[in-house]
Structure 1
């Protein structure tokens, strides 16, 4: 039993060390080999434990918690394929910057590659996707507590973004009563236990971000692109751009208030392209752009310089422009580079945007469907709430048609842009903030993560999940997929409806057949609370056709 007790002491130190790095939430899946970690987390007075039976969804739950809280979030899973199921969330975190700490239980070395049950090669299994990997040895009192805590501190000090993978082998036995053994091993850390700081600290490196020639650049013709940035950063950027008199083109993930709405339509206009061609400087804040026309213009533009400002490392520019890649916090960078008030130099873009908005209104007024739901989305949002957007077609329609309010928090998984854990991520976002939440996604995305509805039963504030059921992956209708094979091999219609899923997980359900009925169904949830799944049964092709037609109409105007 001494082994089981020491396993617990080892795990207790791991969890305590994590709390010194602002870990508050721990997401746990069931498993035996992870018992020391699970019981240590459950016993810790400062940790909030979340559970889920599906490790893939668990990883995305942690991703959502980290996305909305801005803090590190830990994940505990057992050995074997349970670990592999964390891969999608780990990849997304690496691309969008959330900090995850993956604590994966493992078999000891003598049980690997010999046919032992649930034993796989876990060392290095995530390849280059974690920002740091720590392969711990089998717990033993012969290794000092100082080594373990400093090894963890060192690994977490390297984590500016993305995931740290800590692989934790445990030998059996795993279960025993706590008989008080090995407390002296922990106490070698002395009064550290009474404090709140890490054992080993690494002062942050200060990167000088001030551009010495900003005074001259700010007097030129500039264009600003708002990508994946926070709501607070978005508001600051909108004010900054307005003072400069530079046009601001916003991605759906930026909460700038979208001063030039419908960019995915008007960027196809020759008039708009002609105006933008005279820009001397293009500045992009945040990566992960959504709109096809914005990406096309961004790739083709040839200013004197292209600056990309983002806190994440790496190039973040698939077009490989000549210019400056500035790794900096957006809010701090704006403060260090004040705007010089000057008149708008590209007023024609406002006219282009207004014409596009008029075309959208003329096309969608009085209609019911996927495009209309995207256009009228701002009217469905809860006060003081937040929005989580799915991927594929629906996020593109919202990006093209909707003018979301300034400063309103928008969350999405637009790093790898997968559909493999959208509901789970949304559940994590809601738990981290306890705000009313609107989730909007497609039917295939919902089917992919359907068991995450179990997580939605625990929402702490009114939550609406709108599933747009266009019977398949209609994003492929926008792509040059072969028409003869499109339905079977790309769209893959499933001919399902979601009332039974809502009933299975005890959620309220509605299936409105008009925009007024949709607004009423949403309003009732905001007023009375609970969690409601709203299914919009819409035309299979209307949304994609509407986007295609409006792009053609606006580009010809």
Structure 2
């Protein structure tokens, strides 16, 4: 049999594994070129059911895969060679684990007898990611045995089902000995066989769970609240929080939905809270008697300070079974949800003026914000956010970088009901461009990335993935010359150390970087250029960089003004 010939054994085992992945519903694979991974790479190349993407930098490739999985809720497969190639996945592994995003890592390795001998491109890859993966399997060297083939197929099923069910990373390590390349005729034979198998599968694990019904005591606590408040941090598809609006309606509660929460617009959602809740003098008017928390830990410092300030108020943290979320250590009760919450026919006892008060403050703050968001030169970060979110097409997604962009969206942007993605699992600035490209490829819709200059420079290798993008993707770079997020910290007052060690001013030529990657670049330095430039770029397919030169001092002054807003108590 052809599959048992020595040159075909590794490729055939890889083929059986890849077929099983497909049968479990995996559709995308990101491959980083390498020799030791040849058998896996050729197995994917021979299967037309997969969308194949090539990323030469493993760190960028992993974040691209993260972006794909973030939008679909299904794991993306990653293929790399042995050695440090695998280690470069680590930042994305941490983010995926912390944010509950499913990924499947398929790492080629040298056989065990090479380890510990100083052999080239050989490291200890067994459980290299420690406790972060939800599943690990050492495949062993291919041997052509039927039991080994069954184990490979089962390992694929385990990887997908564990990554989805537990919301995290599955890692399978494949030691390969030469030869890696199959006989060419056998490769063609497998391609022919795969064509008969490449119909879109129905995942075996797909099933509807729930809804979750809670008891009478639980609901009596909720409906007795006179000032209930719902706070929703960033979420993943596994969180299943479509019941948030019906819950708010039943309790007549305001919703503080952060960017990335995916909570739809309703009369209960409150905008601008990151501004008017910052001032401690405003808190007493907004003090709740019941706080219900969903999703990840809030990004907003104002919200986290509010949770800490009123830690004596009953706080219930609702979480999925894979992630314990209480970074503020203020929740009194924890409820695990594996499915949507069933809302019974109940009527809350909320004060009739409670929601009205929040809506009135929201309206007054928006007027105050508008008065402060005037066009100026240099442009402010906030002005860019206000204009971009105002004209962003409803069908388009937004990706927010960490540091100021994710915070500025809450402070300056209008994001009700819009699809917004964030990497808030570990909240690093690694791989932001690559994640946005993964989102673009997976959603097949226009998108916008809002990113600072330091985060942009941190992932310029992500620009190598631009060839994968077929829809418009506008990368709005807020270039204020350094890492100004540190200005909100006490270290900013240590002037003789701050500039060198924290803000790290940079003078990189972003336009030259774009030219080097054959990517369209437009420079914006005046406020009247923002809307026409963005309107033009969001209609053009491919990746476009819109570099906005903003003033760091002016932007901070504008933020401080909004943070110091005082609620009118009249």
How does the TM-score come out when normalised to structure 1?
0.90
CA pair 301-463 structure 1, distance change in 2 beyond 3 A: same
Using the TM superposition, give the Cα deviation of residue 203 of structure 1 relative to its aligned residue in structure 2, in angstroms.
8.2
Report the counterpart of residue 298 of structure 1 in structure 2.
307
| Pairing of 1:116-131 with structure 2 (within 5 A) | 116-131=119-134
From 302, 316, 325, the equivalent of 1:307 is 316
1:525, distance to aligned residue in structure 2 (A): 1.7
CA offsets 1:337-387 (integer angstroms, 9 cap, x no match): 566366453433333333332222111123332121123332231241111
Q: Using a 3 Å threshold, how does the CA distance of structure 1 residues 152 and 176 change in structure 2: closer, same or farther?
A: closer
How many equivalent pairs are there?
Answer: 546
Q: Following the alignment from structure 1 to structure 2, what is the Cα–Cα distance between the partners of residues 496 and 339?
A: 59
Q: Which residue of 1 aligns with 2:524?
A: 512
How far has the Cα of 1:286 moved from its partner?
A: 0.7
Q: What SS does structure 1 have at the residue aligned with 2:53?
A: strand
Q: Which residue of 2 aligns with 1:154?
A: 158
Residues 301-322 of structure 1: CA deviation (Å, up to 9, x unaligned): 2355322223352320112234
Over 3 Å counting, the alpha-carbon distance change for 1:312 and 1:539 in structure 2 is farther
SS in structure 1 opposite 2:524?
Answer: coil
Residue in structure 1 matched with residue 556 of structure 2 by the alignment: 544
The answer to whether the 8 Å contact 2:47/2:198 transfers is no
Matched, 1:6 2:6: no
Deviation at 1:539, TM superposition (A): 1.2
Match of 2:19 among 2, 16, 19: 16
Q: 2:359 aligns with which of 350, 374, 385?
A: 350
Other structure's SS at 1:457 match: helix
The reply to whether residue 391 of structure 1 matches residue 402 of structure 2 is yes
| Paired residues of 1:97 and 1:312 also in contact (CA < 8 A) | no
Is the 2:11–2:181 Cα contact (8 Å) retained in structure 1? no
Question: Unaligned 5+ residue runs, structure 2?
Answer: none
Q: 1:475 aligns with which of 485, 508, 511?
A: 485
Structure 1 154/366 Cα, relative in aligned 2: closer, same or farther at 3 Å? closer
Please list every run of 5 or more consecutive structure 1 residues that lacks an aligned counterpart in the other structure. Answer: none
Q: Is the 8 A contact 1:386 1:435 kept in 2?
A: yes
Shift of 1:194: 10
Give matches, 1:173-192, under 5 Å.
173-178=179-184
Q: How does 1:203-282 map to 2 (within 5 A)?
A: 208-216=212-220, 217-221=222-226, 222-229=228-235, 237-238=244-245, 240-255=247-262, 256-257=264-265, 259-270=269-280, 272-277=282-287, 279-282=288-291
Is residue 445 of structure 1 aligned with residue 450 of structure 2? no
Q: Distance in 2 between matches of 1:270 and 1:468?
A: 29
Q: For each residue in 1:459-488, what CA deviation from the matched residue of structure 2 results, as whole angstroms up to 9, or x when unmatched?
A: 221121100101110001111112211111
Whether contact under 8 Å (1:263, 1:400) holds in the other structure is yes
2:391 is equivalent to residue 380 of structure 1: yes
Asked if the contact 2:399/2:436 (under 8 Å) is kept, the reply is: yes
Q: Would the alpha carbon gap of residues 234 and 533 (structure 1) be closer, same or farther in structure 2, given more than 3 Å must change? A: farther
Q: Does the Cα contact within 8 Å between 1:290 and 1:399 map onto a contact in 2?
A: no
Change in 2 beyond 3 A, CA 1:35/1:541? same
Task: Give runs of aligned pairs for residues 41-80 of structure 1, distance below 5 A.
Answer: 41-80=44-83
Q: How much has 1:121 moved relative to structure 2?
A: 0.5
Superposed displacement of residue 250, structure 1: 1.9
Cα offset for 1:17?
Answer: 1.5
Equivalent in 316, 320, 337 of residue 328 of structure 1: 337
- Secondary structure (helix, strand or coil) at the match of 2:562 reads helix
Residue 412 of structure 2 is matched in structure 1 by: 401
CA contact (8 A) 1:392 1:475 kept: yes
Cα deviation digits, residues 372-413 of structure 1 (max 9, x gap): 11233322312411111111112211111222132x110111
Offset, 1:246: 1.0
- Mean Cα deviation higher: 344-353 or 396-405: 344-353
Which stretch has the larger CA shift, 486-495 or 237-246? Answer: 237-246
Q: Residues of 1 paired with 2:507 and 2:197: CA distance?
A: 59
With normalisation by structure 2, the TM-score equals 0.88
Contact 2:292 2:317 (C-alpha < 8 Å) held by counterparts? yes
Residue 297 of structure 1 and its aligned partner are, at CA, apart by 1.0
Verify the 8 A CA contact 2:522 2:546 in the aligned structure 1.
yes
Q: Which residue of 1 aligns with 2:442?
A: 432
Name the residue aligned to 1:525. Answer: 537
Query: Shift of the alpha carbon at 1:61?
Result: 0.4
Q: Secondary structure at the match of 2:140?
A: coil
Once the two structures are TM-superposed, the CA of residue 179 in structure 1 deviates from its matched residue by: 5.9
Closer/same/farther in 2, CA of residues 234 and 544 from structure 1, 3 Å limit: farther
Q: Is structure 2 residue 369 aligned with structure 1 residue 360?
A: yes
Query: 2-side partners of 1:353 and 1:201: how far apart?
Result: 44
The CA deviation at 1:87 is: 0.4
Q: Is contact 2:136–2:170 with CA below 8 Å preserved after alignment?
A: yes
1:456 aligns with 2:466: yes
Please state whether the residue corresponding to 2:490 is helix, strand or coil. coil
Deviates more, 1:474-483 or 1:426-435: 474-483
Which stretch of structure 1 is more off in the superposition, 535-544 or 258-267? 258-267
Give the drift of 1:516.
2.4
Give the Å deviation of 1:204: 8.7
The more displaced of 508-517 and 6-15 is 508-517
Task: Say whether the 8 Å CA contact 2:44–2:50 is kept in structure 1.
Answer: yes
Match of 1:289 among 290, 298, 314: 298
| Alpha-carbon spacing, 1:121–1:380, altered in 2? closer, same or farther (3 Å) | same
Describe the shift of the 1:72–1:338 C-alpha distance in structure 2 as closer, same or farther (beyond 3 A): farther
Which is further off, 144-153 or 441-450? 144-153
Residue among 168, 172, 183 paired with 2:178 = 172
Task: Give 3-state SS (helix, strand or coil) of 2:564's partner.
Answer: helix
